[in-house]
Structure 1
Amino acid sequence: MFTEEIKEATLANHQQTEKILVGKMKSMRSVQDYVNILSSFYGYFGGLEQQITRYINQSNLADYEDRRKSEALADDIKALGGTVPQTATNNELPEIDNYLQAFGALYVIEGSTLGGQIISKMVQQHLPLPEGKGLSFFNGYGDDMYQRWGVFKELLNKVANTPADQQIIIAAANDTFAKFKTWLEK
């Protein structure tokens, strides 16, 4: 299946990006540190979603609006007293000029929900967050996480019709990871 191929083909970039995120999470000592992490996610994912929305919408992904992450990130930032930052633009983001590249970028965003519940528990254990505040992004789909990931993977397998399509999606996913890593290192 294509989703196994993309997982393998993006593993190195995924791990490099994850390493930076784990380091940031482990070094959190205050709610402001957490707000800074949420702001990094918002800046990158917010800009990325603006590009993706040009090619993916309810016509080719029925629940796309429910899959957008920037609103949850903005809500979390505001709930914790932070200011919602500007979003990434231009060369800070991967090139997305068609729906295949958009699906490659969305693969990265959707994959971020898988570790969210673990991160949410870690944040709750280490920081004095107000009850139920600041965790909507990392709680993501809640108990529906694996079901929603499965639906996305099924669609991605259908979208990746040819080897050429698959390579476009993989290249976009790798570029999305690489640019996210650079964004986080700023």
Structure 2
Amino acid sequence: MTPDLNSSLDFLNTLKIQTAGAHKRLENLPVSSCILSPEMKIEDYSHYLKLMYDVHYDVEEKIFPLLSNSIHDLKDRKKKHLIEEDLVFFNYNKPVVSPVFNIENRTIPFAFGILYVVEGSSLGGRFILKNIETISGLNEGKGVSYFTGYGNKTGSQWKSFLNVLTEYQEENDCEDEIINGAIYAFDCIHDHFVQIQKNEN
């Protein structure tokens, strides 16, 4: 079943609008904005990678199993190993993982909302990569596996995910639950960044 184009666009537009505030709050954190700064240091970059390692570890361990029957290419969407590769380049040990999401009693639509946020970050990663590659030590294609992500397939991977998402929503009439999951994801990542920063100070 292919969802009606207009209803799909309406849903995606509503999803974007309803999550905009939480998205902005996360983007405005210093740890988020620093990786777009021309003054970014290697230490800032590797610190951000360690924070995102927690996010992707939780997603792959907790969210992927909930969606395994709904998304056929989940194995291609794994990114934890890319962060591990980058941290090895910087001679970091694999980070001790801090939990980000509590998925007890969470539904499949809620999990879809969380993955919407995480998959969407791959699009932003392409812009971040342009800045990262201007930093000395990161301009030779090493240490940037995570932000390279899907490479020239980033757009098509995102479109493919949105197609699955909208089809699932159309079939199950679960717009609110998906939106709640996406807002939850933005808020959890925000709180995780803030909490780790507090613990380090």
Q: Same fold (TM over 0.5)?
A: yes
* Structure 2 letter corresponding to 1:95: I
* Structure 2 letter corresponding to 1:67: R
Quote the Cα distance in structure 2 between the aligned partners of 1:3 and 1:84: 36
Once the two structures are superposed, residues 139-182 of structure 1 have per-residue CA deviations (whole angstroms, 9 ceiling, x without a partner) of 11111111111111111101113786111111011011001011
How far residue 94 of structure 1 moved from its aligned partner, in angstroms, is 4.4
Quote the Cα distance in structure 1 between the aligned partners of 2:115 and 2:153: 18
Quote the Cα distance in structure 1 between the aligned partners of 2:179 and 2:193: 21
User: Match for residue 93 of structure 1?
Assistant: 101
Higher Rg: 2
Q: Does the C-alpha gap of structure 1 residues 179 and 127 become closer, same or farther in structure 2, counting only changes over 3 Å?
A: farther
Quote the Cα distance in structure 2 between the aligned partners of 1:8 and 1:62: 28
Quote the Cα distance in structure 1 between the aligned partners of 2:143 and 2:20: 29
* Structure 2 letter corresponding to 1:73: I
User: Which piece of structure 1 moves more, 46-55 or 33-42?
Assistant: 46-55
1:178 aligned residue (183, 187, 191): 187
User: Which piece of structure 1 moves more, 116-125 or 23-32?
Assistant: 23-32
Matches within 5 A, 1:107-146: 107-129=116-138, 131-146=140-155
User: Match for residue 76 of structure 1?
Assistant: 86
Q: May I ask how many residue pairs the two structures share in their alignment? A: 183
Identical positions, percent = 26
Quote the Cα distance in structure 1 between the aligned partners of 2:63 and 2:173: 20
Query: Under a length normalisation based on structure 1, what TM-score does the superposition of the two structures give?
Result: 0.89
SS of corresponding position for 1:134: coil
User: Match for residue 48 of structure 1?
Assistant: 59
* Structure 2 letter corresponding to 1:123: I
* Structure 2 letter corresponding to 1:69: K
Query: Under a length normalisation based on structure 2, what TM-score does the superposition of the two structures give?
Result: 0.83
* Native 8 Å contact 1:94 1:175 kept in 2: no
SS of corresponding position for 1:126: coil
* Structure 2 letter corresponding to 1:101: F
Quote the Cα distance in structure 2 between the aligned partners of 1:109 and 1:72: 14
How far residue 131 of structure 1 moved from its aligned partner, in angstroms, is 2.5
Once the two structures are superposed, residues 3-50 of structure 1 have per-residue CA deviations (whole angstroms, 9 ceiling, x without a partner) of 221111101101111122443323864322211110010012211321
User: Match for residue 72 of structure 2?
Assistant: 62
SS of corresponding position for 1:146: helix
Structure 2: tracts of 5 or more residues without a match:
1-7, 197-201
Q: Does the C-alpha gap of structure 1 residues 112 and 29 become closer, same or farther in structure 2, counting only changes over 3 Å?
A: closer
* Structure 2 letter corresponding to 1:31: I
* Structure 1 letter corresponding to 2:42: V
Quote the Cα distance in structure 2 between the aligned partners of 1:28 and 1:78: 23
